């Protein structure tokens, strides 16, 4: 393929082990608010609810402020917990998500290898919240890697909307679309977003799921260490 000059990285689920951080943050929230024990089964159920709400956001069916609270209302309702706790719980949860960064296997190694090649400019494109994403990105491991982080809260649009990617290209300059690739774990956010923007896509499919979303995947990897070969570095 043509030499890639711009690499757009999704953050949560691609670089950061979001499920691990999600599990940590929700259990910490239960302890903080004295809601009893949050079991692994409960945390897994919350994760399912959370995914369903973010998909509604990607389809522009709900506003972000609404999903952030309503997902916890639904979760609490299933387990007989007070729904009025949702607002405060979400506020603390967002901060706890930024407490630390848990790298996906191979992520930091690959990021550094690409950086050292001096051939590709790396950026973050994330639908996460400023409250926790900036804390992750300002750590000593990631701060030297990326030129800029596009966070949907600041951009004003979420992936996969073309408006999000228009803002990206306005910032990074006039780059041929065939020299840009997005790497992410979400078919509905990252890969569909790449399709909408007319750029190359690389699906990080560590769980070997089926592509049942009708999106075009140019490259598929199950491990991040497979990426440098695709990028010819």
* Predicted confidence (pLDDT) per residue in 92-147, tens digit: 999 899 888 899 999 999 999 999 999 999 999 999 899 889 989 988 899 999 99
Query: Which bin fits 122, alpha (ψ -120 to 50), beta or left (φ > 0)?
Result: beta
Q: For residue 58, give its domain range.
A: 18-97
Same domain as 79, residue 186 = no
Average pLDDT, the chain: 95
- Residue 100 confidence (pLDDT): 81
Same domain as 108, residue 165 = yes
* Predicted TM-score (pTM) of this structure: 0.93
Enzyme catalytic residues: 10
Q: What are the backbone angles phi and psi of residue 56, rounded to the nearest 5°? A: -65, -35
1 occurs within a structural domain: no
Residue after which a domain boundary falls, among 82, 97, 112: 97
Same domain as 113, residue 75 = no
The residue to which tokens 């300059």 are assigned: 173
Q: Which of helix, strand or coil describes residue 175?
A: coil
- Residue 1 confidence (pLDDT): 59
Same domain as 132, residue 56 = no
* In contact, 184 and 104? CB cutoff 8 Å: no
């Amino acid at each position: 393929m043509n030499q890639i000059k711009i690499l757009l990285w999704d953050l949560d689920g691609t670089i950061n082990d979001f499920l691990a951080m999600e599990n940590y943050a929700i259990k910490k929230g239960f302890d903080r608010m004295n809601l009893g024990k949050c079991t692994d089964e409960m945390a897994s159920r919350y994760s399912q609810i959370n995914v369903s709400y973010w998909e509604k956001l990607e389809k522009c069916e709900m506003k972000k402020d609404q999903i952030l609270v309503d997902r916890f209302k639904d979760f609490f309702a299933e387990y007989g917990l007070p729904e009025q706790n949702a607002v405060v719980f979400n506020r603390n949860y967002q901060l706890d998500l930024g407490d630390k960064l848990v790298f996906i296997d191979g992520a930091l190694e690959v990021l550094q290898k690409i950086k050292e090649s001096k051939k590709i400019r790396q950026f973050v494109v994330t639908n996460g919240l400023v409250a926790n994403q900036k804390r992750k990105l300002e750590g000593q491991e990631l701060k030297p890697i990326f030129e800029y982080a596009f966070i949907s809260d600041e951009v004003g649009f979420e992936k996969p909307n073309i408006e999000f990617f228009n803002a990206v290209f306005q910032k990074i300059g006039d780059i041929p679309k065939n020299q840009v690739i997005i790497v992410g774990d979400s078919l509905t956010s990252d890969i569909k977003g790449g399709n909408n923007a007319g750029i190359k896509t690389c699906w990080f499919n560590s769980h070997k799921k089926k592509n049942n979303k009708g999106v075009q995947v140019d490259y598929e990897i199950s491990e991040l260490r497979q990426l440098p070969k695709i990028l010819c570095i």
